[in-house]
Amino acid sequence: MSIRSRLLLYLVVVLIGASSIIWLYIRPVYEDAIIEERITLISEYQQQRIREAESFTGYWLLSLKELRDQIRDDPQNLETMAQNHIRLFPDLTSIHITELSTGEFFEIRTSYANDIPPTDLIKDISLPVPDLPEIQVSWLPHSKQFFLISEFDIGDEPYLIIAQYQSMNLEGILLQNVLGEDSFSTIWFMDGTVVGAEDRNLPNVLFQHMTSVRELMIGDVPHLLVTSPVRSLPVVHATYADLDLVKHPVNQLFIQNLGLLAVAFLVLAMGGVFLANRVRQPVQQFIEDVEPFSNYDFSRFFRDSPLPELAGITDKMEEIRKKLAHYQRINVDRIILQEQRNRLLMTYVVEMVAIYDENDRFTFVNKSLSDLFDQLSPANQPLTIGNFFALKGVTVHMESNSSEKISGYIIDTRYLEVEINTGDGHRFFINAHLMNLQGIDSRFIGGMMLMNDVTKDREMEQMRTEMIHTIIHELQNPVFGCLGLTELLMVDDDLPENQRKEYYEVMSDSLHTLSSLISRFLDITRLESGSLVLKKEHIHLYPIIAKVAKTFKQTCKERNISLDFQIEDTPLIHAVEDLMEDLIRNLLSNAIKYGDHDRTIEIELKSSDGYSIFAITDHGYGIQEGERDKIFRKFYRAKAHRTIDGNGLGLSHVKEIVTRHNGTITVESNPKIGTRFMVKLPENDETKEDVTL
């Protein structure tokens, strides 16, 4: 593929990638920000409407309270006070005062007052005002009537005052809309009545005690709905905004941006084609000059390149041509080929190889060592042996020397054990051999460095040592116990029979523990080595779970632990029933042991994406983050809970069982919440035997 084609392909990929990122990632974020801003604007405007409405009705409430108090203090001037009061408030249309014991009433009305519904009806549909519980409010939207009701005493006689107001101005405050044509407001009453909906078919709004936001469809148009309760009134204020109109500026802006990207692509493509054409001619000239090399013709000179970027390459190739012509004249073709082969082998050998000159300066570094240099210091690669050992993260632990004289030369070999810590947290152990070549006059000529990575050997040796120590530690307790009791029985012939029997029982328990530990270790070893043949059958997991849970019934009862089964119907799996029982028993036993009394253990079984998923959540002590990768090792036990009875083989056994059934096991843990083990086993695994893996 030509440079021009590659450049155009690169620009197309960049355009598609940039467009996809803008449309799929940036646009939704910006759209969400616009919607969030619109919600904030609607919410602020809504709260302003509600505050104005509550302020409006607040004057009514305070005036009624004041009128009630005045009548209670001076009932003789009731009529005068009512007339003065009704003249002060244009929306107040009537005042009705009833003596509850006799039914007699006094009423003053304006000419545009509506008939007051029966008192009992008004009282049934009225609600108390939060800040003034002695005053109740009732709003009849169809008749535009608003009532304030309050009971009070004059002397020992109970009275009821009902003030009727016109609600048109109150509705106007709540339904006022300055947010634009894409939005409108409504008032919802507790009985489902709505004001302001006009001929729209709106779904009911539920009463809530706080502001809520959701999306809904009105007809075929998506809308944004913001609802807030009016604290002093039995209504909810709702504001609807057309979501398509809210998103329209976002889509329009990003379409414009995509158009600008397309224009930029065309400009870049034209510039790329122009540059590719400028580059193609010098590159073609360079290819023509180097083509004779294929026929071992080194007589043709390299012409000067008009492209500055190729000038250095042309000069270097001219130097190479002169050297090759010189070698050709002295008939050293074989030497060149042999050196090429040697260089090629050293370049790709697994060991890290470097050759350096008399100034310790590297003249050759193979690929493995070059990769190590990139990890240690990608921006400033070492140029000499001294630079390498001075790099941050390179530490020499041991060093030894030896010398040997061969064919008049002295080979001085240094053996180093080196530890390397890379910037990404990896640690390597390396054996390095530095072979320095000296002439007879002890003049240093150069040398070679050979390094072998022995990290895996170190890790395996450490794991082998730890395992041996752990096995010895686990075995010595029952062995020493039996040995001590045996010696005691041999020495003391006067031991009572009952005590002698007790010692025998202790020895028997210790030997059973030892036998169980050895059997478990051998099972794990056979599973790991593949020497154990697994006879798989089609089985259900739930009966095994129930069977194992039943064996722990008494233990759970003693510790007041309840088992919460969340079981779904799952298909048959191809597995070994005994090993599945071991798996479930180990996980459930750990869940019971590693936690306090008085808790619940959740046991789940479900099917998902072709896998049967078994999980246990213990709500217990949890596992520290640094130990979660180690708990499946043989004999490893969490440091914080090593006093709890166990041998550290259970989870290792579980891990091997899951692996041999082509499944996976994961652990999630938090010391404040507990631990959850989840096992996934394939439901369509038809492997009949798992042998010699």
Same domain, 467 and 425: no
Question: Of 472, 498, 527, which one is at a domain's C-terminal end?
Answer: 527
Same domain, 97 and 41: yes
Q: ∠ CA(364), CA(367), CA(368), 5° rounding?
A: 115
391 in Cβ contact with 376 (< 8 Å)? yes
Same domain, 92 and 226: yes
What band does 533 get if pLDDT is binned at 50, 70 and 90? low
Same domain, 165 and 55: yes
User: Does pLDDT of 20 surpass 90?
Assistant: no
Same domain, 123 and 240: yes
pLDDT in the model for residue 389: 84
Across the chain, mean pLDDT equals 80
User: Does pLDDT of 693 surpass 50?
Assistant: no
Question: Of 477, 495, 527, which one is at a domain's C-terminal end?
Answer: 527
> Percent of the chain scored above 70 by pLDDT?
84
The CATH number linked to 679 is 3.30.565.10
The mean pLDDT value for 340-369 works out to 82
Same domain, 418 and 511: no
DSSP letter for 613, please.
E
pLDDT in the model for residue 4: 64
pLDDT in the model for residue 577: 86
Strand segments (E) across 114-220: 127-128, 135-140, 145-154, 157-166, 183-189, 194-195, 212-218
384 in Cβ contact with 359 (< 8 Å)? yes
Q: How far apart are CA 566 and CA 589, in angstroms?
A: 18
Q: Which domain does 474 fall in, by range?
A: 459-527
Is residue 24 assigned to a domain? no
Is residue 5 assigned to a domain? no
pLDDT in the model for residue 465: 59
Same domain, 377 and 436: yes
The mean pLDDT value for 602-625 works out to 90
Question: Which of 337-351, 366-380, 384-398 shows the lowest mean pLDDT across its residues?
Answer: 337-351
What band does 521 get if pLDDT is binned at 50, 70 and 90? low
Question: Of 255, 271, 297, which one is at a domain's C-terminal end?
Answer: 255
Residues 95-105 pLDDT 10s:
999 888 888 88
Same domain, 620 and 603: yes
Neighbours of 353 (CB within 10 A): 19
Sign of the Cα torsion 459, 463, 469, 473 reads positive
What band does 606 get if pLDDT is binned at 50, 70 and 90? very high
Task: Provide CB contacts within 8 A for 454, sequence distance 6+.
Answer: 429, 430, 431
Is residue 31 assigned to a domain? no
In terms of pLDDT, which residue wins out, 241 or 177?
A: 241
Q: Which two tokens stand for residue 567?
A: 């079981």
pLDDT in the model for residue 605: 94
The CATH number linked to 508 is 1.10.287.130
User: Does pLDDT of 615 surpass 90?
Assistant: yes
What band does 600 get if pLDDT is binned at 50, 70 and 90? very high
Is residue 268 assigned to a domain? no
DSSP strand pairing (599-608 vs 561-567):
parallel
pLDDT in the model for residue 691: 37
The mean pLDDT value for 376-393 works out to 82
Residues 101-152 pLDDT 10s:
888 888 888 888 888 888 878 887 788 887 788 898 988 888 888 999 999 8
The mean pLDDT value for 557-586 works out to 89
User: Does pLDDT of 585 surpass 90?
Assistant: no
CA distances from 256 to 23, 31, 191 (A): 12, 15, 48
In terms of pLDDT, which residue wins out, 546 or 476?
A: 546
User: Does pLDDT of 246 surpass 80?
Assistant: no
Same domain, 594 and 490: no
User: Does pLDDT of 482 surpass 50?
Assistant: yes
Residues 452-469 pLDDT 10s:
888 777 766 665 555 555
Residues 385-409 pLDDT 10s:
888 888 888 888 888 888 888 776 7
- The long-range contacts involving 310-316, CB below 8 angstroms and separated by at least 24 positions, are 310/282, 310/283, 310/286, 313/286, 314/286, 314/289
Residues 284-326 pLDDT 10s:
777 777 777 776 677 777 787 777 766 777 778 778 878 777 7
User: Does pLDDT of 470 surpass 60?
Assistant: no
Task: Provide CB contacts within 8 A for 320, sequence distance 6+.
Answer: none
pLDDT in the model for residue 9: 78
Is residue 264 assigned to a domain? no
pLDDT in the model for residue 648: 59
Same domain, 582 and 447: no
In terms of pLDDT, which residue wins out, 342 or 382?
A: 382
Same domain, 442 and 589: no
Is residue 358 assigned to a domain? yes
243 in Cβ contact with 196 (< 8 Å)? no
In terms of pLDDT, which residue wins out, 321 or 533?
A: 321
The mean pLDDT value for 325-336 works out to 62
Is residue 262 assigned to a domain? no
**HSE value, Cβ hemisphere, 13 Å, CA-based, for 51:** 6
Is residue 265 assigned to a domain? no
pLDDT in the model for residue 441: 72
Q: ∠ CA(13), CA(14), CA(20), 5° rounding?
A: 90
Q: How far apart are CA 48 and CA 39, in angstroms?
A: 14
pLDDT in the model for residue 690: 44
The CATH number linked to 413 is 3.30.450
Same domain, 344 and 399: yes
In terms of pLDDT, which residue wins out, 473 or 173?
A: 173
Structural domains of the chain, count? 4
